């Protein structure tokens, strides 16, 4: 049974930092593309950052230079380091996994975590 469990969310002031973690189990972690998505109230879910099975990464324009995605295959863990946080980063953050290449389209992801809330106050 595939399971993704996020942690690390919380409340922080603008300019602060948080690190999200996502632990995967029940599948070959290294063979899957993984992504971080977020959904703010009243908005659609959007891709934030992703990592290919090769380790290559992609970022949304809104977070490039501030967020860093990484994964530790030996620990089955995906990370999102978020620096210089802004109020517009406030959302529920989800990690997701799919077999194959990374895509920003959430519809193609087979597995999702439960989400973790990130709140940035200005």
Backbone angles phi, psi at 107, to 5 degrees: -60, -20
At 30 the pLDDT is 86
**Is the distance from CB of 22 to CB of 77 less than 8 angstroms?**
yes
Please report which confidence band the pLDDT of residue 23 belongs to, taking 50, 70 and 90 as the band edges: very high
- Token pair listed for 70: 């990484």
Helix, strand, coil % over all residues of the chain, rounded to 5: 10, 50, 40
Task: Check pLDDT > 90 for residue 103.
Answer: yes
**Is the distance from CB of 37 to CB of 93 less than 8 angstroms?**
yes
The length of the chain in residues reads 122
Please report which confidence band the pLDDT of residue 78 belongs to, taking 50, 70 and 90 as the band edges: very high
Average pLDDT over residues 43-67: 97
Please report which confidence band the pLDDT of residue 50 belongs to, taking 50, 70 and 90 as the band edges: very high
């Amino acid at each position: 049974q595939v399971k993704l469990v996020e942690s690390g969310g919380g409340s922080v002031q603008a300019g602060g930092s948080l690190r999200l973690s996502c632990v995967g189990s029940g599948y070959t972690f290294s063979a899957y593309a993984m992504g971080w998505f977020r959904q703010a109230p009243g908005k659609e879910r959007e891709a934030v950052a992703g990592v290919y099975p090769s380790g290559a990464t992609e970022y949304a324009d809104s977070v490039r230079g501030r967020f860093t995605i990484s994964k530790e295959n030996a620990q089955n863990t995906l990370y999102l380091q978020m620096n210089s946080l802004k109020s517009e980063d406030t959302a529920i953050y989800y990690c997701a996994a799919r077999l194959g290449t990374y895509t920003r389209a959430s519809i193609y992801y087979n597995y999702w975590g439960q989400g973790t809330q990130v709140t940035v106050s200005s």
